[in-house]
């Protein structure tokens, strides 16, 4: 008898086993956190080294009132300084003494934080050279960051005067009358030109700025007026004043048809030193400076920033569109001109300058 065997099917079940996750080691976590924090510190330190003024409040000071040329330049440059440094740049007007009050404060460094100043270079130097009352600064001690723009002075004649060249002035029978805001306006150009050309001149002062001096010439109260090249071109086009000479070593693009002093008159070395002195001082133009007490690292950083801004073609085009030209000059060039003006080597002595500018041609 056969026996039938019954086979049983065995069903195998797949069991999913979740592996045990190792518990994190507290020491490992702390080490990783330390690496992250270190990296953050390194990154922040790198940013601080690149932009050491980031987050700070920086003053950009002008020594004249709001709305004037220096104020407009400062407010035009402030946003670019903010963008480059990461600082908040605030324009402040420290008025008084034709800029002397602001220069004295910059020299004593009596403010908190960093202070920059847009300086009237010719006025600052002449104030020190002539020993003007209230001057307590040394212009050569400031930390100079760069020149924004400089332009030579131009001699213009009244359209109702008989003068149309420097030769006309040297042959004049009557004293030549100049209209000017002050004795040192445009670095004392009326007195310096008069001394160089041996003119019989009278410098009539007290007019309120370039516009009033120009009106005096138009009314016939004065024969001549001296002003910056930009103002000279505007007055020639608008009011008919006649540019007769540029106080520069070469002709300028603003008034290319106007000859220089040297082109018109064969000056002796003794005469030429007066013209050269005026050219040197006017070449300081509108320049940026800060306190002598800034660190060498901050000084070099600021100089790099200023150069980058003032040589940026976009910034230059934007400024030109506003009628505010930019022509960067390096700090080394500024310092050389300042030291030359103060040292009086082969220049008029301070005594001569005081006599000629402050006394000789003032009725």
The band of 49, judged by pLDDT with boundaries at 50, 70 and 90, is low
* Residue whose C-alpha is closest to residue 315's, from 146, 127, 144: 146
pLDDT band at 156 (very low <50, low <70, confident <90, very high): very high
Residue 50 pLDDT level (bands cut at 50, 70, 90)? confident
Question: What does the alpha-carbon distance between residue 224 and residue 244 come to, in Å, rounded to a whole number?
Answer: 10
Helices (DSSP H) in 51-164: which residue ranges? 69-85, 100-108, 121-129
Residues 305-342 pLDDT 10s:
999 999 999 999 999 999 899 999 999 999 999 999 99
Domains of the chain, each with CATH number or no CATH: 57-150+283-329 (3.40.190.150), 153-280+349-360 (3.40.190.10)
Q: What confidence score (pLDDT) does residue 344 get? A: 65
DSSP conformational letter for 330:
-
Report the pLDDT averaged over residues 166-178.
96
Instruction: Report the range of poorest mean pLDDT among 108-112, 119-123, 167-171, 184-188.
Output: 108-112
Backbone dihedral angles phi then psi of residue 153, each to the nearest 5 degrees: -90, 155
Average pLDDT over residues 69-96: 96
Classify 10 as helix, strand or coil.
Answer: coil
Render pLDDT for 221-269 as a digit per residue (tens, 0 to 9): 999 999 999 999 999 999 999 999 999 999 999 999 999 999 999 999 9
Nearest to 80 by CA among 337, 305, 250, 349: 305
- Which DSSP state fits 174? S
Report the pLDDT value the prediction gives residue 208, as an integer from 0 to 100: 86
For 206-220, the three-class secondary structure string (H helix, E strand, C coil) is CCCHHHHHHHHHHCC
Output the CA angle 106-315-282, nearest 5 degrees: 50
Q: Which residues of 251-276 are buried (b: 16+ CB within 10 A; e: fewer)?
A: ebebbeebbbbbebbebeeebbbbbb
Q: What is the mean pLDDT of residues 213-219?
A: 96
């Amino acid at each position: 008898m056969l026996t039938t065997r019954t086979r049983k099917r065995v069903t195998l079940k797949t069991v999913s086993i979740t592996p045990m996750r190792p518990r994190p080691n507290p020491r490992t976590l702390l080490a990783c956190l330390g690496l992250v924090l270190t990296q953050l510190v390194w990154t922040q330190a790198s940013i601080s080294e690149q932009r050491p003024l980031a987050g700070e409040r920086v003053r950009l000071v002008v020594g004249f009132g709001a709305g004037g040329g220096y104020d407009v330049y400062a407010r035009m440059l402030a946003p670019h300084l903010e963008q480059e440094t990461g600082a908040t740049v605030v324009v402040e007007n420290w008025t008084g003494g034709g800029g002397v009050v602001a220069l004295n404060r910059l020299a004593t460094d009596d403010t908190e934080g960093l202070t920059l100043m847009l300086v009237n270079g010719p006025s600052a130097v002449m104030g020190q050279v002539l020993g003007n009352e209230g001057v307590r600064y040394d212009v050569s001690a400031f930390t100079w960051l760069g020149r924004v723009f400089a332009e030579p002075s131009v001699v213009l004649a009244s359209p109702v005067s008989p003068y149309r060249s420097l030769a006309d002035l040297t042959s004049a029978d009557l004293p030549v009358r100049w209209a000017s805001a002050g004795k040192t306006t445009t670095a004392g150009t009326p007195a310096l030109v008069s001394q160089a050309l041996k003119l019989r001149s009278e410098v009539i002062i007290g007019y309120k700025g370039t516009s009033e001096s120009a009106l005096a010439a138009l009314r016939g109260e004065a024969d001549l007026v001296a002003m910056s090249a930009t103002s000279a071109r505007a007055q020639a086009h608008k009011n008919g004043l006649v540019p007769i000479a540029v106080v520069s070593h070469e002709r300028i693009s603003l008034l290319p048809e106007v000859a220089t002093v040297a082109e018109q008159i064969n000056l002796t070395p003794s005469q030429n030193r007066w013209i050269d002195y005026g050219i040197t001082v006017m070449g300081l133009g509108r320049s940026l400076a800060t306190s002598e007490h800034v660190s060498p690292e901050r000084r070099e950083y600021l100089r790099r920033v200023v150069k980058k801004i003032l040589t940026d073609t976009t910034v230059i085009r934007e400024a030109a569109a506003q009628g505010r030209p930019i022509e960067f000059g390096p700090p080394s060039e500024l310092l050389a001109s300042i030291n030359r003006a103060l040292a009086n080597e082969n220049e008029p002595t301070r005594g001569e300058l005081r006599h000629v500018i402050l006394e000789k041609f003032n009725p």
